[in-house]
């Protein structure tokens, strides 16, 4: 029986997924897991994209991991939105994303792909297709205050989840 919810925090690179996850992990009993790190540790790669200079995550291998084991509750990744629920989806303005991406030394091609994904709302649409609309929550992450507000909102949801599951139902 789980005692904490599973939460996905997803969005295009540079929107603040890691910042949110690390803050929530510090302020709750949840554990921050990066799908990229899990894929690396458990050999869940399906090759390397030379053009984008990044590993390709094998989603089937990731889906086969026993996510109920331990405290694997906060997960971040670009595309794996159908793994756990609910999903917290982060957005950021393109100017901020461009600056961050250049700081991270992304290739021009990878930067353009990420900006296109944000412009067209590709990942948000994937999340909405994978889940009931009411459990996909879009959050802005422009400022420190917005991040703090988002984390408070997610912590409130965690508390509600725990209260509604206190009887041992899951």
At residue 145 the predicted structure's pLDDT band, cuts being 50, 70 and 90, is very high
**C-alpha span between 76 and 64 (Å, rounded):** 17
Q: Note the helical H segments in the chain.
A: 17-27, 35-42, 59-63, 94-103, 108-119, 122-130, 144-164
pLDDT for the residue numbered 78: 37
Binding residues for ATP are 14, 16-19, 104
pTM of structure:
0.67
Q: Is residue 50 scored above 80 in pLDDT?
A: yes
Q: In order of start, what are the domains of the chain with their CATH numbers?
A: 7-146 (3.40.50.300)
Span 64-123, pLDDT tens digits: 776 654 344 445 443 333 334 444 544 444 445 445 555 456 677 776 776 676 666 667
pLDDT for the residue numbered 105: 65
**C-alpha span between 57 and 79 (Å, rounded):** 9
Binding residues are 14, 16-19, 104
């Amino acid at each position: 029986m789980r005692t904490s919810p599973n939460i996905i925090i997803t969005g295009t690179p540079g929107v603040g997924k890691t910042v949110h996850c690390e803050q929530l992990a510090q302020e709750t009993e949840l554990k921050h897991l990066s799908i990229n790190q899990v894929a690396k540790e458990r050999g869940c790669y399906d090759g390397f994209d030379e053009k984008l200079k990044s590993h390709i995550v094998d989603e089937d291998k990731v889906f086969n991991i026993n996510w109920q084991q331990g405290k694997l509750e906060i997960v971040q990744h670009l595309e794996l939105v159908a793994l756990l629920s609910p999903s917290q989806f982060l957005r950021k303005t393109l100017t901020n994303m461009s600056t961050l991406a250049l700081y991270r030394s992304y290739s021009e091609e990878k930067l353009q792909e990420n900006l296109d994904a944000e412009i067209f709302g590709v990942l948000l649409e994937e999340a909405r297709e994978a889940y009931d609309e009411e459990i996909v929550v879009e959050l802005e992450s422009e400022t420190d205050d917005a991040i703090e507000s988002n984390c408070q909102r997610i912590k409130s949801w965690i508390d509600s989840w725990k209260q509604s599951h206190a009887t041992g139902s899951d």
